[in-house]
Amino acid sequence: MSTATLEPTTTTAAPAPGTTAGRSHIAGLRCRACGRPEEIGPNFVCTACFGPLEVVYDYDVARERLTREAIAARPATIWRYLELLPVDAAPARGLAVGSTALVDAGRLAADLGIAKLHLKDDTRNPTLSFKDRVVAVAVARAVEFGFDTIACASTGNLAGATAAAAAAAGLRAFVFVPSDLEPAKIDHALSYGATVVRIDGTYDDINRLGLEIADEEGWAFVNVNLRPFYAEGSKTLAFEIAEQLGWRLPDVLVGPIASGSLFTKVAKGFDELATIGLVERTEVRFVGGQPAGCAPVATAFATGGEIVPVRQPDTIVRSLAIGSPADGGYAIDLARRTGGSIEAVEDVDTAATIRRVAATEGIFVETAGGVTVQAAAQARAAGIIRDGDEVVALLTGNGLKTPDARRFGVDEAEIDPPIAPTYREFTARYGAA
């Protein structure tokens, strides 16, 4: 693929300046299954078929207002892409989310046999994960709806992101997590003043509880009654990648799969950029990764069958351990129709890849990042990633959240015992320079 910056193209003529004045860029909600329209509100299921709702935009408004020049003139946060996000205006209060680095990972690329590899490094977001993106959008919309309490069902990263965003917006926060969640992630959420509710059960158990509490208490659950808005925040990864590549798309996008929402929304983001003429529409193959101990989507992709929920996940990758993924079917369809794949990754390979990424590129990722990069390695070995491809891999969380995971499967002690403060002791242990 050429690295030249492409001029914006579209099959639809742009409207004359000013023709969308006063119009909202948000057209409403629509059922993803049956297409039924719904009014904007804290709704997440279709009243006719119970399918998932998603936000619909007025692309004429976005096409007119969201030019490359307008984007470049705005602050370096996710709100520079406002006309493709489901809020009326950028929030007055909130964390500075987004505009994370796209790292040219030459050493890791050579190690994996990939021609060109970029790492989208969301370990640098305010709470050290991509969840800051989706939560920022959900909280901004919750404020517009008038909610005073934010809540979430979380496998870890979402807990900290929700707690921090609520604190910045001056809202109460309740986060519901599995009782065996990594202590670092629980402490992270507690540090922002959130109430952390530990549940003896899986993520799917907690999500069902969230449905009940959202209804009974009237709270804004970011990934329940605000899910249509929350999920749209993942598109900002696509917007930033395209902008950072000089307004073009990669050949391959590799990302982790938990519910499948992130994976599919990045694809939607690329499609919207092409629709409004900011990039040339080109084919992007989508490769996903799941831990083998909780891989309902990868298994269904490999067998060609239906998704069978995993009742009891068995993996160190807790951030991806969703046994009944809401968007899993959409993720499978995306991978198949783009010529991509969904890879199941063993925990021992996840841990080894965490060490590999740190040693080659100086980026310490959590378990989801290990799954993603190993999925890229497996896709390359299988020929899904081809000679000459330009690949972007999503690093969605910082390794400080799962510090013990990198040692999984390693028997020998990594830390040498101390030595006396003498040169003789040093050279006896490590040799002369």
pLDDT of residue 102: 98
Same-domain pairing of 45 and 64 = yes
pLDDT of residue 182: 83
pLDDT of residue 433: 61
Mean pLDDT of the chain: 92
Q: How many other CB atoms sit within 10 Å of the CB of residue 205?
A: 15
Same-domain pairing of 33 and 107 = no
Answer yes or no: is 356 within a domain.
yes
Same-domain pairing of 68 and 140 = no
Same-domain pairing of 332 and 390 = yes
Residue carrying the six token digits 């709806």? 145
The alpha-carbon radius of gyration of the chain (Å, integer) is: 22
Q: How many other CB atoms sit within 10 Å of the CB of residue 99?
A: 17
Q: Is the pLDDT of residue 15 over 90?
A: no
Q: How many other CB atoms sit within 10 Å of the CB of residue 84?
A: 24
Higher pLDDT, 268 or 417: 268
CATH of the domain at 151: 3.40.50.1100
Alpha-carbon distances of 346 from 70, 192, 295, rounded to whole Å: 44, 34, 10
Task: Please give the order of strands across the beta sheet that includes 252-256.
Answer: 102-104, 116-121, 390-395, 252-256, 285-291, 341-345
pLDDT of residue 7: 31
pLDDT of residue 144: 96
Q: Is the pLDDT of residue 364 over 50?
A: yes
Q: At what angle do helices 296-303 and 328-337 cross, to 10 degrees?
A: 40
- The pTM of the full predicted model, rounded to 2 decimals, is 0.91
Kindly state the average pLDDT of the residues 292-317. 96
pLDDT of residue 411: 64
pLDDT band, residue 94 (cuts 50/70/90): very high
- How many residues are present in the chain? 433
Q: What is the pLDDT of residues 373-416, one digit of tens each?
A: 999 999 999 999 999 999 999 999 999 988 888 778 776 666 78
pLDDT of residue 412: 63
Select the highest-mean-pLDDT range: 126-130, 209-213, 215-219: 126-130
Of 13-27, 185-199, 248-262, 361-375, minimum mean pLDDT range: 13-27
Answer yes or no: is 431 within a domain.
no
Q: Which of 389, 244, 281, 279 is nearest to 6 (CA)?
A: 279
Question: Could you give the count of Cα atoms lying within 13 Å of 333 in the half-sphere of its Cβ?
Answer: 8
Domain that holds residue 363: 102-128+234-407
Question: Per DSSP, what are the bridge partners of residue 31?
Answer: 53
Answer yes or no: is 307 within a domain.
yes
Same-domain pairing of 168 and 316 = no
- Bin 200: left if φ > 0, else alpha if -120 < ψ < 50, else beta: beta
How many domains does the structure of the chain reveal? 3
Q: Is the pLDDT of residue 207 over 90?
A: no
Same-domain pairing of 362 and 283 = yes
Kindly state the average pLDDT of the residues 54-73. 97
Q: What is the pLDDT of residues 221-245, one digit of tens each?
A: 999 999 999 999 999 999 999 999 9
Answer yes or no: is 90 within a domain.
no
Q: In whole angstroms, give the CA distance from residue 43 to residue 212.
A: 14
Answer yes or no: is 4 within a domain.
no
Same-domain pairing of 189 and 218 = yes
Q: What is the pLDDT of residues 113-155, one digit of tens each?
A: 999 999 999 999 999 999 999 999 999 999 999 999 999 999 8
Q: What is the pLDDT of residues 322-349, one digit of tens each?
A: 999 999 999 999 999 999 999 999 999 9
Q: In whole angstroms, give the CA distance from residue 6 to residue 67.
A: 14
Answer yes or no: is 416 within a domain.
no
Strands 26-31 and 53-57: antiparallel
Q: At what angle do helices 261-275 and 328-337 cross, to 10 degrees?
A: 50
Q: Is the pLDDT of residue 8 over 50?
A: no
